[in-house]
């Protein structure tokens, strides 16, 4: 049985459509595969660069660890650390005409905030928080923050909310949570010296 001229053309058209569809599908899969390979290559190169930076930066990280070891505030016990932080906050507020209300220490385990970073032992950095409401004009508050947050003090602001005391006043009320990092002295019971952890 032979096909008519019209049937041959129709069969050829169907074959061409199927061939083009198959080629298009294969091309799409090859493009996806090439894009995936390219992403993997970029990821491997990024990891390689990061690994080289870490390997070559060992001296830098050792210098930073040594600087922290030499400069991190040391306290005899946690109570001494709390007293020191409260005194520093009050002293800075007095020097810059900022009034303080309701100072209270933050429970280190509240809201998932660890007192000590994970994986560090005795003599290693610890943290404690102080929540306080401060009142003053913007300039006074900025200078107060500046005095509290000098790099050598190892303090940070975890939470800050400023609102005007009233609609017609330049005085601001500021709720702030200040964290202080420190370590216990090696002479304290159950503590060791600060050292690099593997």
Q: For every residue of the chain, which 3-state class applies, written as one string?
A: CCCCHHHHHHHHHHHHHHHHHHHHHHHHHHHHHHHHHHHHHHHHHHHHHHHHHHHHCHHHHHHHHHHHHHHCCEECCHHHHHHHHHHHHHHHHHHCCCEEEEEEEECCCHHHCCCCCCCCCCCCCEEEEEEEEEEEEHHHHHHHHHHHCCHHHCEEEEEEEEEECCCCCCEEEEEEEEEEEEEECCCCCCCCCCCCCC
User: Alpha-carbon distance 73 to 115, whole Å?
Assistant: 15
Query: Does 198 score more than 70 pLDDT?
Result: no
pLDDT of residue 1: 58
User: Alpha-carbon distance 85 to 68, whole Å?
Assistant: 18
Mean pLDDT in the chain? 80
Section 73-83 average pLDDT: 88
Comparing CA positions, the residue from 180, 188, 183 lying closest to residue 106 is 180
Comparing CA positions, the residue from 36, 35, 183, 16 lying closest to residue 115 is 183
Query: Does 143 score more than 80 pLDDT?
Result: yes
User: Alpha-carbon distance 81 to 83, whole Å?
Assistant: 5
pLDDT of residue 197: 33
Around 109, how many Cα atoms within 13 Å sit in the side-chain half-sphere?
0
Least confident of 4-8, 33-37, 42-46: 4-8
Q: Which token pair is 137?
A: 């004009």
Residues 48-57 have pLDDT tens digits of 988 888 788 7
User: Alpha-carbon distance 105 to 131, whole Å?
Assistant: 6
């Amino acid at each position: 049985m032979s096909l008519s001229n019209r049937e041959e053309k129709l069969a050829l058209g169907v074959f061409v459509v199927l061939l083009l569809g198959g080629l298009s599908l294969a091309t799409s899969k090859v493009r996806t595969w090439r894009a995936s390979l390219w992403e993997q290559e970029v990821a491997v190169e990024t990891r390689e660069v990061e690994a080289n930076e870490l390997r070559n930066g060992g001296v830098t990280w050792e210098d930073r660890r040594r600087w922290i070891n030499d400069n991190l505030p040391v306290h005899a016990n946690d109570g001494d650390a709390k007293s020191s932080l409260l005194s520093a906050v009050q002293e800075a507020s007095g020097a810059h005409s900022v009034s303080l209300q309701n100072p209270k220490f933050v429970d280190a385990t509240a809201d998932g905030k660890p007192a000590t970073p994970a994986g560090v032992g005795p003599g290693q950095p610890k943290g404690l928080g102080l929540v306080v409401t401060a009142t003053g004009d913007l300039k006074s508050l900025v200078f107060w923050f500046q005095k509290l947050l000098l790099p050598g003090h190892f303090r940070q602001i975890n939470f800050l909310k400023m609102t005007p005391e009233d609609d017609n006043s330049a005085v601001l009320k500021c709720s702030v949570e200040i964290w202080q990092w420190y370590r216990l002295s090696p002479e304290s019971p159950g503590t060791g010296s600060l050292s690099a952890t593997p």
